[in-house]
Amino acid sequence: MKIAVGSDHGGLEYKNAIAKHLKELGHDVIDVGTYSLDSCHYPLYGAEVGKKVASKECHFGVVVCTSGEGIAIAANKIKGIRCGIAYNDDVAKLMRQHNDANVISFGQKFMALDDVLRRVDIFLNTEFEGGRHLTRVEMINELEK
């Protein structure tokens, strides 16, 4: 799979660890930045990951900032993106099963790295269930028009 990753300075450490983890699993990783601890603007990186996924250049995206909130909001501004914050293992699974999420978000300051890496794996290995959930995803897509 090709996976886009992005973060601001507040999520750089985890973004780099996630990228390394994904590469070790054999995934093709597109790192859109940031690449330093210099203060920067999370909307740029959340949107860039969203664009890579929405264009189908990448299958999925992973975004990280201090809380996970701001960068998730930015990613969700891109048409076709459904990004959620994986604050526990069940949510990481349900956002794929029920919401067909294509980007996952994390807050570096509030989550342990081991939990984040496990949730990335859960997210990537969970299929969308479709069925009644498809109707709801289609309703979300209609809101973008």
The total number of residues shown for the chain amounts to: 145
Q: Of 21, 58, 65, 83, which one is the catalytic site residue?
A: 65
Instruction: Exactly one of 40, 59, 98, 133 is catalytic; name it.
Output: 98
* Of 79, 56, 62, residue with least CA distance to 22: 62
| Residue type (1 letter), 51 | K
Please check whether residue 111 is in contact with residue 120, taking contact to mean a CB–CB distance below 8 angstroms: no
Q: Indicate the helix (H) or strand (E) that contains 84.
A: strand 83-85
**Residue 65: active-site member:** yes
The Cα 75–Cα 80 span in angstroms is 10
Q: What are the distances in angstroms from CA 65 to CA 7, 8, 23, 76, 135?
A: 6, 6, 21, 14, 31
Is residue 98 annotated as a catalytic residue, yes or no? yes
What region does 130 belong to: left with phi over 0, alpha with psi -120 to 50, or beta?
A: left
Catalytic residues: 65, 98
